[in-house]
Amino acid sequence: MARIDYYFSPISPFTYLAGQKLEEIAGRHGAGIAYRPLDVAQLFGRTGGVPPRDRHPNRQAYRLQDMARVAAIEGLDINLRPAHWPTNAAPASFAIIAAQDAGGGDLGALVHGICRACWAEERDIAEDAVVAEALEAAGFDAGLASGGMLAGAEGYARNLEDAVAAGVFGAPFYITDDDQRFWGQDRLAHLDWYLGR
């Protein structure tokens, strides 16, 4: 079975705007997904990226227009300037890692639910209650919001190191098990094509 390493941050708008297309693509091609949330600010710092707030105003303006267009095309609600962004993505990321280890729910729905909480629902994904609700909605034990902290923290740090070693420089980022790399939700169609060759 093919595998896709999925590097992302739950505070990335483009992770949210990907919806659950990755899961649809993986299902079509019988591929597994390894969900690898990471600290995108540290990733930028280590790979030459610039956080959105530090980019030239031209780039910032384009980013907002692009986000609005993609959301409209995908039929997703979005607040371009959410009340709780940026926020600490670690608690949500720890819970995603713990949920993947625990099994029993829908990881794609969990990731999308957490992203939607930030980008469409004006909720702070650093709060345990918000994460617990997303876990429960995706079929996981809500207690993973606080119970998986140690393992989640270790996995979160490891994901960053693995990402840098694998050539990742942004989020979302998808890598096949034969090292084909796809950056951004706008490359999901290319991933679909590649897996279907």
DSSP states along 73-130: HHT----SS-TT-S---HHHHHHHHHHHHH-SS-HHHHHHHHHHHHHTS---TTSHHH
pLDDT tens, residue by residue, 2-45: 999 999 999 999 999 999 999 999 999 999 999 999 999 999 99
Cis peptide before 13 (omega within 30 of 0): no
Q: How far is CA 11 from CA 1, 4, 134, in A?
A: 30, 21, 15
pLDDT tens, residue by residue, 109-118: 999 999 999 9
118 touches 85 (CB < 8 A): yes
Q: How far is CA 45 from CA 34, 39, 49, 51, 170, in A?
A: 24, 10, 6, 8, 11
Phi, psi of 74 (to 5 degrees): -85, -5
Which domains are present in the chain? Answer: 3-195 (3.40.30.10)
pLDDT of res. 151: 79
Average pLDDT of span 179-188: 98
Query: Cβ of 189: how many Cβ atoms within 10 Å?
Result: 12
Q: Which of 37, 43, 36 is nearest to 9 (CA)?
A: 37
Model confidence, pTM: 0.96
Residue type present at position 17 = L
114 touches 11 (CB < 8 A): no
The pairs formed by 43-46 with CB atoms below 8 angstroms and a separation of 24 or more are 43/160, 43/163, 43/164, 43/168, 43/169, 43/170, 43/171, 44/169, 44/170, 46/160, 46/164
Average pLDDT of span 79-89: 95
